[in-house]
Amino acid sequence: MKGLKGLLEENPRLKVFIYAGKGGLGKTTLSAATSVKLSSLGKKTLVFSTDPQASLSDVFEQNVFGKGEVKIAENLYVMEIDADKRIHEYVSSIKKKIIDMYKLDRLPQDIEEYIDSAAAEPAMYESAVYDAMVDVVTEGKYDYYVFDMPPFGHGIRMIAIADVISKWVDKITELRRQAYEYGRVAASLKRSKLTYEDEILQELEYIRGRILKFRDIVMNTETTAFLMVMTPEKMTILDTEKALEMFQSLGLKLTGIVVNQVYPPELASRPDAPSYLKKKVEEQKKYIAEIADKFGKYVIAVTPMLNREPKGLDTLKIVAEELWSPKKRLEDYI
Amino acid sequence: MKIFDKLREVIEGLTVHGQSTAILRVKAQIDNLFMLITLGDMLGVPILPPYYSLRLMPYVFPNIQNWKRYMLRERDVTDLVS
């Protein structure tokens, strides 16, 4: 297994590490461990999470939720965005803009309701998260970015439709130009004034830019390592198979898989090992063999099940070292 | 000034009024199409992610009422004739 070190040696231009996978497999732990290792190499690293349950705060034992970029250690920065707050601010700014632009006392009820219901949609939440990702990467303040992705919903389809949306924006822009031309002629005949055409075209360009940039962050294999986390269990094997199918349909390329929460097999071979542990390790071997068979070429590292919660910098370093350059081969776990 | 304005309106009405109405009608159709693509969400036709289409809302705000009325208007066969 080549580990993260191998990935970086193969592709020194890597800047972004994305951890995806379902909840509870240790995405947050691995994201944190990755950032700990990368920052220890003297590279300015940002680890970014959007988890409303503030798990990075737990892992680093410091409340960073919704506080922007917080420095945790030398070169190591954490950002845990509060997506709900972000949506709320965004929506309020739009409402305020309408009220200011048209000097209203308040918004008409149907518009208010529409904006509020749009804000409550789950896709809105995902879009806000992805938009925040685009923000930090575009800003470019860091050498490395580590993203702890939320489990995917419909929003991820945005990358599949990025092209479609881009073409739509072209069409819409063309429509706007036509409308503008007609409007201008009519306005010059009528001597009335046209409003906001330039602003609309600018907004459309902006929207296209954001969507394409997001797709680039997630899909550009030159600069992004897209990693999946799994555990040696039947259910995650099945889930990972499904996820790979979905990625393929989206055109997303998987860079690697990390197998997490693995019991060190040598524990079971000790004479005083309880049968409970032996049984667990036996079962684990079976599933790791299945993982090697199905996803062998993707597996870059195996990280251990710890005897304590993965919290605090010192504990994370244990995971980080295994992740960086694994001491064993995958076969050693079978 | 007032008399000039009145005079201008009269001359406008006699000369370019029909033309500009026709042009405005085409513009209205283009605008409707634009609204459908960007805020179609309001009528259940989602194309742009709402997170982004909301950004356009302030600029098209004055047209929304008319557009919704136009889109949701009941239609019948006689509409096809006109």
Separation between Cα atoms, residue A76 and residue A173, nearest integer Å: 42
B8 chain-A contacts, CB cut-off 8 A: 191
* Closest residue, chain A, to B59 (C-alpha): A196
pLDDT of residue A88: 94
- Contact call for residues A162 and A215 (beta carbons, < 8 A): yes
Nearest to A289 by CA among A237, A242, A253, A243: A237
pLDDT band at A289 (very low <50, low <70, confident <90, very high): very high
A168 chain-B contacts, CB cut-off 8 A: 37, 47-48
The residue-averaged pLDDT of A211-230 equals 91
Tell me which residue in A101, A175, A191 faces B58 most closely, judged by beta carbons.
Answer: A101
Please determine, for residue A69, whether its predicted confidence score (pLDDT) is greater than 80: yes
DSSP A263: P
What's the gap in Å between the CA of A152 and the closest CA on chain B?
A: 16
pLDDT band at B81 (very low <50, low <70, confident <90, very high): low
Q: Express each pLDDT in B4-60 by its tens digit.
A: 888 888 887 777 777 778 877 877 787 787 888 778 777 777 777 888 889 988 988
What's the gap in Å between the CA of B43 and the closest CA on chain A?
A: 10
* Closest residue, chain A, to B20 (C-alpha): A186
CB contact under 8 A, B27 and A127: no
Q: Express each pLDDT in A118-171 by its tens digit.
A: 888 877 888 888 899 999 999 999 999 999 987 766 556 667 667 777 787 788
pLDDT of residue A231: 94
pLDDT band at A191 (very low <50, low <70, confident <90, very high): low
What's the gap in Å between the CA of A194 and the closest CA on chain B?
A: 12
pLDDT band at A93 (very low <50, low <70, confident <90, very high): very high
Mean pLDDT check: name the lowest of A59-68, A257-266, A276-285. A59-68
Q: Is the ipTM of this complex over 0.90?
A: no
User: Can you point out the beta strands (E) in A74-165?
Assistant: 76-80, 144-148
Please determine, for residue A174, whether its predicted confidence score (pLDDT) is greater than 90: no
- Contact call for residues A80 and A64 (beta carbons, < 8 A): yes
Separation between Cα atoms, residue A310 and residue A313, nearest integer Å: 9
The side-by-side arrangement of strands in the sheet containing A299-304 is: A69-73, A76-80, A45-49, A144-148, A16-20, A224-230, A256-262, A299-304
pLDDT of residue A25: 87
What's the gap in Å between the CA of B1 and the closest CA on chain A?
A: 16
Separation between Cα atoms, residue A91 and residue A93, nearest integer Å: 5
pLDDT band at A331 (very low <50, low <70, confident <90, very high): confident
pLDDT of residue A194: 56
pLDDT of residue A40: 95
- Contact call for residues B44 and B22 (beta carbons, < 8 A): no
pLDDT of residue A286: 94
CB contact under 8 A, A124 and B50: yes
pLDDT of residue A158: 67
- Global confidence as pTM: 0.83
What mean pLDDT value characterizes chain A? 88
Q: Express each pLDDT in A25-47 by its tens digit.
A: 889 999 999 999 999 999 999 99
A101 chain-B contacts, CB cut-off 8 A: 58, 61
Residue A172 near chain B (CB below 8 Å) = yes
What is the secondary structure of A162-199 as a DSSP string?
HHHHHHHHHHHHHHHHHHHHHHHHHHHHHT----SHHH
pLDDT of residue A54: 67
Tell me which residue in A102, A182, A199 faces B27 most closely, judged by beta carbons.
Answer: A182
Residue B44 near chain A (CB below 8 Å) = no
User: Can you point out the beta strands (E) in chain A?
Assistant: 16-20, 45-49, 69-73, 76-80, 144-148, 224-230, 256-262, 299-304
Residue A210 near chain B (CB below 8 Å) = yes
pLDDT of residue A281: 92
* Closest residue, chain A, to B64 (C-alpha): A111
CB contact under 8 A, A196 and B59: yes
pLDDT of residue A152: 67
Tell me which residue in B12, B34, B42 faces A179 most closely, judged by beta carbons.
Answer: B34
